[in-house]
Structure 1
Amino acid sequence: PTEIETPKEQFQQHLHKIFFLIRSGTGHDFSNYKQNTIRRRIERRLAVHRIEKIEDYVHYLQKTPTEVEALFKDLLIGVTHFFRDPEAFEILYKYTLLDLLKSKKANSPIRIWIVGCATGEEAFSIAMLISETMDELKKHSEVQIFASDLDNDAIDYGRMAIYPESIAADVSLERLNRFFIKEDNTYKIKKQVREMVVFTQQNLINDPPFSRLDMVSCRNLLIYMDQQLQKKLLPLFHYTLNPNGILFLGSSESIGEFTNYFSVIDSKWKIFKRNEVMLDKMVNYPNIPFFDSYSTKQQLPEKTVGDGINLRTLVEKIVFDDYTLPCVLVNEKHDVLYFVGHTDNYLKAATGEPSFNVLKMAREGLQHKLSAALHRVIKQQNTITYEGVQVRKNGDIQSINLIVRPLIGKHLPHGLSMIIFDKQTATQKIMPHKTTEVESDPQISNLEQELQSTREYLQTTIEELETSNEELKSTNEELQSVNEELQSSNEEMKTSKEELQSTNEELTTVNAELQSKLDELSQANNDINNLLASTEIGTIFLNNNLHIKRFTPAIKKLFNLIPSDVDRQISDITSNILYENLYADTKTVLDTLVRKEIDVQSQAGNWYSMRIMPYRTTDNIIDGVVITFVDVTEVKTSEKLIRQLATIVSDSNDAIMIQDLTGIIISWNKGAEKRYGYSEEEALKMNIAHFATDDKRLETLKLIEPLKAGKIIETTESKKRNIAHFVTDDKKQETLELIEQIKAGKVIEGVETKRISKNGEILDVSLTLTKLVDESGNLIAIATMERDITKYKHAQRKSEKSIADLKKELAELKAKS
């Protein structure tokens, strides 16, 4: 039966494809990262794109290069902030940095490597800590902090050295003032700290490490890598550190099995010191394959030589055509390019720094002969054979025939050689074109052969040294020339740097000014936009061609405008106003620069005050026209109502007058003029003093006094007539009391009183008094409508007199009887 794969197995199967796609798209390999972390990040991408199956996501990656980059960014978990774990930095300062700086010579730089620096907060935290320590010790050294990360965007962010205001939560106020410059809503690292840190993009797995370091800080990076990768990196850190160098790890990380490489300074915060020990494992240098053993036809990378000739094809063709022996292909520098067969009996891994140089790999007894043979082959371009070469391996000695053959071809690079290791006693049958050196077997012959070999090796060495010496002289001359050029370039760069710094400062100042102006412009633009959006005044802005530039929302009641109508001719827009000369009037205003104002009516019956004005810039340049529409419908309605009321009041037969709170007449209609005989001009200008007798003048003024509402008015200076002038003496007090009631807000209707006309006639009138208030409801005047009831009162008094006479006569009759 077919075995059903579990989801985990399915994920594992597709994970290799995903690693391949990331490696192809970005050049970075995540195969040694912890797969649980990788899986969580991939599942997050699935959720983002709403993809359910991992195989569907693989297909999506294959056809979407941008998603490969997005996944790569997601896998780079760049969580960091300033002085993360403050207690750890305090321990670092007390127990490591103080001793480090004290022990440093004045001319010796402090070199620190921040591995996986993200956006630079940790690098700058350590830079600030070192700066504080140097100030405390009054000892200043050159500081080189190498901040590396895989994420180029994070590196660019760190290079800017600008961080948000939120860092104030992690950085003390003292450090903010000392090491940062406040710019708007950000903090910028000062130059003295910024120049300590060098940011660089680096692949920790593939790129060469930094060396001669005083400290390596690799915090919270190892936790994302599997054990295999951690075991490669920790010896690498040990190698890069100086004696007694510091290793600073994250609180959740450890040195694992490498306890003999480092001693513990603080176990809680994972601070270690490098021990002076010999590495029991070879350091796995990036980009240098680890030499282990040589199996038949090891699968080295497919490489080409010359005009695209494949190495494997070339070697296998030579070997299969001529040999069935172990052999290796080397280049002019004696570096191994290809292995065939089991060569571990003749070659071994070089000690110290990893190398594929065949002379360093040669076992004891083989090196001299091999060096001489390679030298002669390159020089003579003939096959060289040494028979009976004694090779030692693990204390055993084996005799071999060493054959070195040059590879010469039209499309082959210079210096290729094939080295063949043959245990056979005779090689003549295999190599018909070799130069053979065969000696007898007695002991003296062997000694002579060994002496000859030594002489040849010595001669070869001398020739190589002479060649190397000439090359070194030539190289030295070139280096001196290059050094002079570099010195000249350095001086030019210093000059350029100073000019750039000056230019940068000027640009910074100009940029700050521009930013300030931009902010002001933005604020003004926001104010204008909010004003236009909130105003009820419909406004259209036109350019010199009478094309629409912008408009307010309120204008949409009158014109059918949408945002896409900007730049259209105003005459092309339909409107809801009953006015046909808008375009002509607009053009006239633009030509004459004389504003025009007129009331227009909309199709809905509303009235608007239309104003057309030239658009003037701050430089007093005419740059178009502004048309505004103010809704005056309520004003028009009020004016109409006022005109109607004015007509009613003016033509009424009743006397209607208005008086202020002191009793001074301020309005006088035709009915009042007809009733009392005074024209409007006379009633408004005459003074009460002109109508009162000498003995009543003082009394009249005293009666008016309560109406002044607390303010003394000299009535002798007044040019207006008081209402008291028209009141008979016996009714004046009653009239004044009525006015007080009106002032108190009481409505008075149907009050009967007496008035005096111009000719002295006493009239009976019926009053209706109404208060007039302002917008705030305050009493400002009193309106009085007075109807003449003199005839009615005369008839009433006559009737009452008749009734009284009848009653009197009746009483007399009763008395006589």
Structure 2
Amino acid sequence: MTKNTDHSDSDFSNLIRHIQESRGIDFRGYKRTSLERRIRRRMEEVGCDSFASYHSFLEAHPQEFVDLLNTVLINVTSFFRDTDAWDVLRRDVVPRILERKGDNGSIRIWSIGCASGEEPYSLAILFAEVLGTVDFCRRVKIYATDLDDAALNTARHATYAMREVESVPEPLLERYFERTNNHYVFQRELRKCVIFGRHNVVSDAPISRIDLLICRNLLIYLEADTQAVVLPRLHYALVNDGFLFLGKAETQLARSRMFEPVDLKSRIFAKVPQEWRRTAGGSLSLASDAGNARTNQQARLMESIVDGSSTGYLAVNAEGLLVFANVHARRLFDVQETDIGRPFQDLTISYRPTELRSRIEEVRNSGRMVRIEHQPFTRPGAEPTRLTIEVAPLVSRDGKAFATLISFFDTSRVYLLQQEIEAAQESLETTIEELQSSNEELETTNEELQSTNEELETTNEELQSTNEELETMNEELRSTNEELEVANEEMRRQSEEAGEYRRYSESILRSIDVGIIVLDDNLTVQSWNRWSENIWGLRSEEVTGEPFLDLDIGLPVQRLRRPLQDILITEAPVDPLEMEAMDRRGRRITCRIRLSPLLFDNWLARGAVLIIEDVTERARSDAFTSYLGRIVGESLNEVYFLDSSTFTFHLVNKGAEEKLGYPLDALRQIALHDLMPDIDAIAFGRLVEPLLSGEKAEIVFETTIERSDRSVRQVELCMQYFPREQPPILVALAHDVTERQRIGMEDSRAETTSG
């Protein structure tokens, strides 16, 4: 049974050492029963039945450290926990601190074991209520420390659920928190004055010059000897008139000589000033009331301070045994607990990183410190470093050396800086030489510059003259620019007019009821109006740029080749042409084509213009007219065409010439009434007046017509007036009624005889 217990104790110690080495948290000072109970709780949850198996589990699952620390480091806290104690703090302690600090003195507060931040933020509210936000931010600094990184991370965010701020009075909640969704966020300005950090009060050096230190419900978890180490640290951290605020269950200071109660019920204490002195080994120690004898608590305090140092310390006594190694030296040189008390010369550190045995002997003989600088040293799996080693005697009060202290300082940075300085020194010397050479060159250059300066002065005078000329030129350019602006405006106006004229011309071309085709001097189509599109069935964009003579349209364009070439050569128009063609609907049409040269300002032909007119109906009308003319012309009936104003003969047919006995040329000199013996000019005018005025469409009357041989005959004249013809014309049809009158007279005589 005893053997199993010893084995369990050893496994537990190894587990605690592993936690310290892996996470830097030293649980050796915590109460064994409480610590073991909480660790076993985690062992049950992960299924480990021994400390050794849990040790292995931690090595295989590093993330288990988070759950383990959350279990061991119980973070039970709230805002203004134990309200009565906080009221005493506000009423009795805060005014005394402010009174001693005056109006401008800075106030330093330390909250140990701050957990998720409720305690330091409660302190911030407490002091802000008294000082005001502005003075609080200017004067107060609150340090909040804990071992639990997760809790510190929560504290830094300063965000709390509604249930977590239930203990905050409503006015303070509204004043110092901002509500975001279902959470409350502590005021940003005050939050900046709270500094969170990871700190182990058992092993790390304490924060100093503290006016108010809050360490509630931490000491109850520590062993008595650990408490004896921590309490002097708290005493050291406080200023002489500082205050310590403990938890309700902590009674350790009821009879302490380092603190006196301010309010014992609320566990608020004031520091009792003590004298600090240096020990023979150079460490700080509290002087006791019993003749400055060092107590166990003081020894532990000094050991903790040395262990918290970043310098490695080894102590070798007069017998050559290693009697002390602080935490940093143990980690640096892998010194084990079992190495303490062993001969120093048997340890690796005695000759690595450098030979120290002879140096220790030298110090013992001379009594003077030996310093070995920048020795190279490399730990397994770590970066190479440089160590500066000091070997110094430790002398007792009677002046005798009783041990040798070996100090190891990491001077890697210093060594690198020295190397850089040496390199910089060499570079500087080279630079100085270069500067001297450059200085000589600069002197030469200076002389050249002086000469150049004189030349520049001359050039400057020339430039001034040039500048005056440029100013004159600038004036001229300004005047020219104004003229150009006027010219530009005129060109713009002309451009607008040209554009308007072009649009006007295009409108005319579209509106003309004839085809207009413009060709260049290569007989390529340049313009093709709407009439041409409608007749030939090709759009303007389809033919523009195409050779005219290659177009496949209903017009026999090849017959126009020679006339077009003649126009380009002679630069004169040709006689109109009439050609049979076929429009886009397949209808046969007759086209009258007029060809003219396209002349420019120099009267040179640059192309040709074709004007095409559909004269199909006109041709038919002319043919019909010709047909009628032939019939009328050959008719034996007399047809007279008379001038409507003079009544002279304008044209007569063949029958009229034969019966009147006059040729046409002679008749054109004679008026119709000149051949009427019975009617003079005036009477004839009155006779045709109704016809000329439009009162009558035609008049018919009988009269006597005299022939060229002076013989007469009776005729019936039927006359019509055509005012719309050009010129207006009178048409008379003469019918010889002589025979009809003779027959009539004979019939009359016959009737008379029979009667």
Give the TM-score of the pair, scaled to structure 1. 0.38
Structure with the greater alpha carbon radius of gyration: 2
Scaled by the length of structure 2, the TM-score of the pair is: 0.41
